[in-house]
Chain A
Amino acid sequence: MGGKPQRKDGHGAENFTGKHEPRPHNPPKISAPFAPAPCYPHRVSTTSSPVVRITPRHTALVRVTHWITVLAFLALLITGGELVISHPRFYWGETGNSGTTPLFKIPIPSSRDTVPTGYSYVMPDQNGWSRYLHFEAAWILVLTGLVYVIAGLLNAHFRKNLFPPPAQRRWRAFRDVFAKLLRRAPLHEAESRSYNVVQRLSYLAVIFVLFPLVIWTGLALSPAFDSAVPAAVNLLGGRQSARTLHFFVSGLLVIFLFVHVTMIVLAGFWSRMRGMITGRAAAPSERL
């Protein structure tokens, strides 16, 4: 430790040792009878600049769970797409196969030559590793989500940061968000530290509606889970309905992902990335 300890808050450690640097010294000229008894030796500063506490834009827990969710979701998306390719037809009800009428088809070749796709080309089979990775990523996502939701309920993250405050619970708040977006009005600093009503409701919908739904519809596709909890699949209208719903809910999550990334790019990609990686919010001088 070479140099003297330097502290930015004005409480130089050396002040208490008396060995501070000499500085211009002008004792106040106050007439003796009215002079108040000094509370402190005059060389000790009684004022201090406020300690600048950098509150992180996102807590460490939010940042870590966010990025684990990103990785798990991308793995689920890629492998889920691979699994769809082995039968790009969707049905409603309990059963459906290449011999029955589909609800709709995705107009792509299949990785199975048994599927009547209209293409002569058969794609390579990627289901083995896709299935292994799909379920492993699902476990990672579910466990990470549980940690996030339980911690968020305990530390009031949802109530403070995501549930709309009273001022935002009116239509005007929605209108303002879209009006500002259309005018491409610059963001205020406060807006980069907090969410508007549309952001809050989108995040709440993803966390408490779409993710539970995609987990439920996915679990309903497990014949063993259904044997223990038959209602999981029966309430969705049957196995093929569950598969179709799993596909649609995943689609809604993909739409959210696209809008989310677009908004981040519009709001300032690097500052938002820094906020979610290091936790530091943008300084006022920076582009927000």
Chain B
Amino acid sequence: MSNISRRRLITTGLAAAAGVAGLSAASRIARRYGLIPPDGGGIYGPGETLTYAAQRLLTTHSLAREFPRAMISKAPFANPTAPPSDAFKRLQAGGFSNWRLTVDGMVAHPTAFSLSDLKALPVHNQITEVVCEEGWSYVAEWIGTPLVHVLDAVSVLPQARYVVYFSIEPDWWESVDMADALHPQTFLTMGMNDGDLPVKFGGPLRLRLPRQLGYKSVKYITHITATDSLKRFGKGLGSASPEAGYAWYAGI
């Protein structure tokens, strides 16, 4: 390789050094501002981190597209869920009047909300699209309480960085960062298309997150906890999805 000139060697060396320094500075900044997702390790970590960091910077306050009423899908589709647990069936038999949403963790006033407690908070509606990672989609009207009102009611502490939410069904839980948790379109959904939210679509209580893929919108929510670290939950990857091989951040 005698034809590599000294100038070229020096420029390449400097560029490489600048690249390494730049990358380490970027990763420090990313860590500091919470731009690294909990599943940001391993061989897919760089891609996930780039996606999450870029979209966090681009979409902190952006709103998912909302549609006119005429675009509501006549044929909404729901992926089937596992047969309901006995706990669910008991609550269903009682008309969900004993359904409780426990909110705890880094909050000043841990509270258990009934569905009517949630309906007493400001209720909003949105006509947004459900986007499945498989490729299909539908538009529906979703009626519910923005999660931000629930978090305000329990006074979430400023050091909370994530909100973890659990289904009544086992091993079904997800988490979002505060940008998504406080986002005005993140709903604790109780109604769909002018009626109660059908069980098939997550009733009586589903967390809807229209800026991320459908699998982040967990059905049958009974427990929400605010935390400053996801390390203590499951395998520490942020939610059940990465444990099953799917990305934690699904804004793609």
Contacts and interface: CB of A to CB of B under 8 A. Distances in A.
A230 interface: yes
B44 A96 contact: no
Determine the interface band of chain B, counting residues with CB < 8 A from chain A.
35 or more
B131 interface: yes
A66 interface: no
A132 B135 contact: no
Contacts of A132: 44, 47-48, 245, 247
B38 interface: no
Determine the interface band of chain A, counting residues with CB < 8 A from chain B.
35 or more
Contacts of A99: 75-77
B51 interface: yes
B162 to A, nearest CB: 17
A52 B73 CA distance: 70
Give the secondary structure class of B's interface. loop
B134 A223 contact: no
A50 to B, nearest CB: 17
Contacts of B246: 127-128, 131
A85 B80 CA distance: 19
A239 B129 CA distance: 9
A227 B56 CA distance: 12
Contacts of A243: 135
A240 interface: yes
Contact of B55 (A133, A221, A225): A225
A94 to B, nearest CB: 6
A97 interface: yes
Interface string A130-151: 0111011111100000000000
B251 A224 contact: yes
Contacts of B73: 95, 97, 100
B63 interface: yes
B44 A239 contact: no
A87 interface: yes
A223 B212 contact: yes
B67 interface: yes
A59 B51 CA distance: 31
B133 interface: yes
Interface stretch (B98-106, B136-144, B189-197): B136-144
B51 A135 contact: yes
Contacts, number: 127
A99 B74 CA distance: 9
A165 to B, nearest CB: 29
Contacts of A89: 135-136
Contact of B252 (A96, A100, A222, A240): A222
A133 B45 CA distance: 10
Interface in B211-252: 211-213, 244-247, 251-252
A100 B136 CA distance: 10
Contact of B65 (A98, A114, A226): A226
A230 B67 CA distance: 12
A239 B247 contact: no
A239 B59 contact: no
A69 to B, nearest CB: 16
B157 interface: no
A112 interface: yes
Nearest to B56: A224
Contacts of B43: 136
A217 to B, nearest CB: 13
B85 interface: no
B159 to A, nearest CB: 25
A58 B244 CA distance: 44
Given A129-B245, A139-B47, A94 B59 contact: no
A128 B243 CA distance: 10
A35 interface: no
B204 interface: no
Given A127-B134, A131-B133, A94 B67 contact: yes
A135 B48 contact: yes
A95 B48 CA distance: 27
Interface in A103-132: 112, 114, 127-129, 131-132
B252 A223 contact: yes
Interface string B113-129: 00000000000000001
A135 B47 contact: yes
15 contacts: A87-B132, A91-B136, A94-B71, A94-B137, A95-B73, A97-B138, A135-B252, A136-B46, A139-B46, A139-B51, A221-B252, A224-B252, A228-B58, A239-B131, A240-B137
Given A96-B136, A135-B48, A139-B50, 11 more contacts: A83-B135, A86-B134, A89-B136, A97-B75, A97-B132, A100-B75, A221-B252, A223-B211, A228-B55, A239-B131, A240-B137
